[in-house]
């Protein structure tokens, strides 16, 4: 290879432009759009959602003013939930250099998205963003780090987390294994630091167990998405706590492909709770289009949605969220934040 300096962005742009003709052979309409957008350098087109002059709507969680749409942290950390596409998690992690993460957070703040929800391992780059770019984005930590849950909570608070919650997969396992009381202890430990404390879950049984135990989180973090996409587990094969794993090689069984196995029941049950609700996995890791997933979650009663976004998706996702919220949405639950 010659000693010439090759700019990554220029290389990708040129390569995609050169391969534009290949798009005619692709079966996916979305793939064709992506090639076209990369070839033109991400310029605004007539097919993009039109920007609204209104600011991003916000709600309150305790003393925090929070945008209705969050940045999710899975893509930054490399947890792509890409089913059997085994290379994707490594790809997105390689893509998200510190500079790219900080660029993405800047774009989010420009569009009125003022919060990111992610793992404690992202504390380093978030602090870089605050210190070097003057960023103001708020950080909600899932505290899933260390040998003891208290380690993850303390690391999060020590490194500037504005709110902390018990991560959904860990909470599901605790309830499944008869250790629900540990969630209550962790919640009280979070609150001892005078930051908002929450409980997450994929399975509705986790939320029910926490309510039955009398826990009073400041917010819930619960999955919600439609269940009619192609890779959804057939209804007759969905099982309690299947999201905890292990996954199956049978296409008709669970395999990291579904995060809310009973959306209608979830909507009905969450309507009985008064604490703010952050819905996550609203796009099922890319299986559902934003306009559909956002509307489904907000109409289903979520007060906020957490969405993993690449830098080139932030603008459109923010506009879609604004348009959905400004439209005639028929909520099944009053706003609780």
pLDDT in tens, 79-98: 667 777 777 778 888 888 99
The pLDDT value recorded for residue 276 is: 98
Of the two residues 189 and 13, the one the predictor is more confident about is 189
Q: Look at 1-5, 173-177, 257-261 and tell me which has the smallest mean pLDDT.
A: 1-5
Buried/exposed code over 54-84 (b: 16+ C-beta within 10 A; e: otherwise): eebebbebeebebbbbbbbbbbbbbbbbebe
- Mean of the pLDDT values across residues 245-251? 85
- Mean of the pLDDT values across residues 296-325? 97
* Cα 245 to chain centroid, rounded: 20
Alpha-carbon distance 251 to 83, whole Å?
A: 11
- The share of the chain scoring above pLDDT 70, in percent, equals 82
Fold of 58-326: TIM Barrel (3.20.20)
The pLDDT value recorded for residue 285 is: 84
Alpha-carbon distance 294 to 304, whole Å?
A: 10
The pLDDT value recorded for residue 129 is: 97
Domain segments of the chain: what residues? Answer: 12-39, 58-326
- Count Cβ atoms below 10 Å from residue 252 Cβ, excluding itself: 10
Of the two residues 323 and 2, the one the predictor is more confident about is 323
Q: Which of 193, 144, 192, 150 is nearest to 171 (CA)?
A: 144
Q: Which of 126, 148, 20 is nearest to 73 (CA)?
A: 126
The pLDDT value recorded for residue 49 is: 54
pLDDT at 67 over 50: yes
Mean pLDDT of the chain: 86
The pLDDT value recorded for residue 97 is: 93
Q: Where does the pLDDT of residue 246 fall: very low under 50, low under 70, confident under 90, or very high at 90 and above?
A: confident
Using one digit for the tens of pLDDT, what is the confidence trace for 24-49? 333 344 444 445 544 544 444 445 55
- Mean of the pLDDT values across residues 246-263? 88
The pLDDT value recorded for residue 265 is: 98
């Amino acid at each position: 290879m010659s000693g010439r300096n090759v700019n990554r962005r220029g290389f990708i742009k040129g390569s995609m432009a050169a391969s534009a003709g290949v798009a005619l052979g692709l079966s996916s309409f979305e793939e064709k759009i992506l090639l076209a957008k990369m070839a033109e350098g991400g310029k605004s087109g007539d097919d993009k959602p039109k920007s609204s002059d209104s600011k991003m709507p916000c709600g309150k969680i305790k003393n925090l003013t929070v945008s209705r749409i969050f940045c999710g942290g899975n893509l930054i950390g490399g947890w792509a939930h890409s089913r059997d596409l085994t290379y994707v998690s490594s790809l997105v992690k390689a893509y998200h250099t510190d500079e790219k993460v900080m660029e993405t957070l800047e774009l989010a703040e420009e569009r009125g998205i003022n919060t990111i929800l992610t793992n404690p391992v992202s504390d380093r780059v978030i602090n870089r963003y605050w210190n070097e770019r003057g960023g103001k984005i708020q950080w909600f930590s899932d505290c899933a780090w260390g040998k003891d849950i208290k380690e993850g909570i303390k690391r999060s608070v020590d490194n500037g987390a504005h709110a902390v919650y018990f991560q959904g997969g860990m909470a599901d396992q605790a309830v499944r294994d008869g250790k629900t009381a540990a969630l209550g202890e962790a919640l009280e430990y979070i609150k001892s630091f005078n930051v908002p404390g929450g409980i997450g879950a994929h399975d509705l049984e986790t939320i029910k167990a926490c309510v039955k135990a009398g826990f009073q989180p400041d917010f819930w973090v619960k999955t919600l998405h439609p269940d009619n996409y192609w890779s959804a587990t057939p209804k007759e094969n969905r099982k309690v706590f299947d999201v905890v794993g292990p996954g199956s090689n049978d296409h008709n069984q669970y395999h990291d492909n579904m995060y809310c196995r009973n959306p209608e029941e979830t909507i009905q049950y969450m309507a009985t709770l008064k604490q703010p609700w952050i819905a996550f996995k609203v796009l099922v890791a890319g299986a559902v289009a934003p306009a559909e997933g956002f509307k489904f979650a907000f109409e289903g009663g979520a007060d906020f949605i957490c969405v993993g976004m690449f830098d080139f998706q932030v603008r459109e996702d923010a506009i879609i969220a604004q348009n959905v919220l400004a439209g005639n949405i028929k909520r099944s639950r009053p706003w609780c934040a």
